[in-house]
Amino acid sequence: MSVTVDVTAEHIARRIASTIDPVFAMIDGWRDVLERELSGPLAGALTGSTEPTAATLDPVVAALVSAELERDGTLITGAGFVAAPGFLVDAPWHLAWWLSGSNTFGAGPDPRLRRLEAVSDPDSEQFRDYTTLEWWRVPARTGTRHLTGPYVDYLCTDDYTVTITTPVRVGGEMAGLVGTDLYVARLEQVLLPVIRESGHPCTLVNASGRIVASTDARRATGALLRLDGLAEALTPLRDAVTVTDATSLPGGEAVVPCGDTSLALVLEA
């Protein structure tokens, strides 16, 4: 069911998309560099290695993500590459992930850019199969970018986080993924002024209907927005189908997708 939505709402939805789009573009850029390095005529140009190894790839990833992690005013707090199990010849399971200085997890008294310490030995009791987690599972299934969260990242940084991940493909197979973490508090700070411009009561939700930000102070970030028909209206977003048409709910609310962010703006009647 397509409806005509206030031009302002469409405009706000586009503004939200354009706030997040640079982050998407950045990750896509990292993906392109890695895909070029791992296959095709330029394979091994940066590492000098024709075989994919953690040892040679890690410095490439570090160089890709560290500049953005250290940039003033950046939205992101962590970023890197996660390898598909068995893809790298010297590391069956591998995370090349860096945290920025604004990320205080395990940082000690002087937080600065540093690598996340990960357990990559599957025989260790502390090993966790990352391919079962949403930020891996969904892009692996859909073959495209996914926004996970908001969620409490208790396995890593203890913070309220959004993680964006996109697959890196080599010879038609998923070789791993690149991604980044954003603090929800920081995201809300950036997005609230945008959604307030609409002048309508409206709420930004993820594809599960979880509230990211709302003009209504009583709608808590992290709570589920429970509206008749909302779950159905968000189904295409969960399946990573890019939809641009607004839909209307039985209660009169309008649901406007925000570009291909998988977020949607819900305008109350």
Partner 1 sequence: MPQATGRADATRAVVFSPLEGAGRAELVEQRLTDAIVAGVLRDGERLPSESELARSLGVAVVTAREALVALRDKGLVHTKRGRDGGSFVTHDRDASMRMIDERVRALSRIELRDLSLHYAAIAGMAAEVAADRASEDDLAGLVELDARADLATPGGARRAVGRFQLEIAAVSQSPRLVHEELRLQAEAGPLLWLCLREQDSRDRSRTARLEVIQAIRTVQPERARRATTEHIAAAVEWLIDEKVRLEQASPIESDEASAAATPEGGRP
Contact residues toward partner 1 (CB under 8 A) are 78, 80, 82, 93, 95, 97, 106, 108, 116-120, 124-130, 133-135, 150-161, 163, 179, 181, 208-210, 221-224
The string of DSSP codes covering 15-67 is: HHHHHHHHHHHHHHHHHHHHHHHHSSTTTTTTT--SS--HHHHHHHHHHHHHH
Q: Which is nearer to partner 1, 8 or 142 (CB)?
A: 142
Distance of CA 102 to the CA centre of its chain: 18
CB of residue 25 vs partner 1: minimum separation in angstroms? 20
114-to-16, 60, 105, 117, 145 alpha-carbon distances in Å: 30, 15, 11, 9, 25
Q: Which is nearer to partner 1, 179 or 259 (CB)?
A: 179
CB of residue 220 vs partner 1: minimum separation in angstroms? 8
Nearest alpha-carbon partner for 92 in 60, 137, 129: 129
CB of residue 153 vs partner 1: minimum separation in angstroms? 5
The DSSP element (H or E) to which 257 belongs, if any, is strand 254-257
Q: Which is nearer to partner 1, 39 or 208 (CB)?
A: 208
What is the distance between the alpha carbons of residues 257 and 185, in angstroms, rounded to a whole number?
22
Q: Facing residues of 247 across strands?
A: 255
Q: Which is nearer to partner 1, 33 or 96 (CB)?
A: 96
Amino acid at 23: V
Q: Which is nearer to partner 1, 130 or 191 (CB)?
A: 130
CB of residue 4 vs partner 1: minimum separation in angstroms? 30
CB of residue 116 vs partner 1: minimum separation in angstroms? 6
Q: Facing residues of 264 across strands?
A: 205, 257
Q: Which is nearer to partner 1, 130 or 194 (CB)?
A: 130
CB of residue 216 vs partner 1: minimum separation in angstroms? 17
HSE toward the beta carbon, residue 28, CA cutoff 13 A: 9
Q: Which is nearer to partner 1, 12 or 61 (CB)?
A: 61
CB of residue 133 vs partner 1: minimum separation in angstroms? 6
Q: Three-class SS of residue 262?
A: coil
214-to-24, 40, 182 alpha-carbon distances in Å: 23, 46, 18
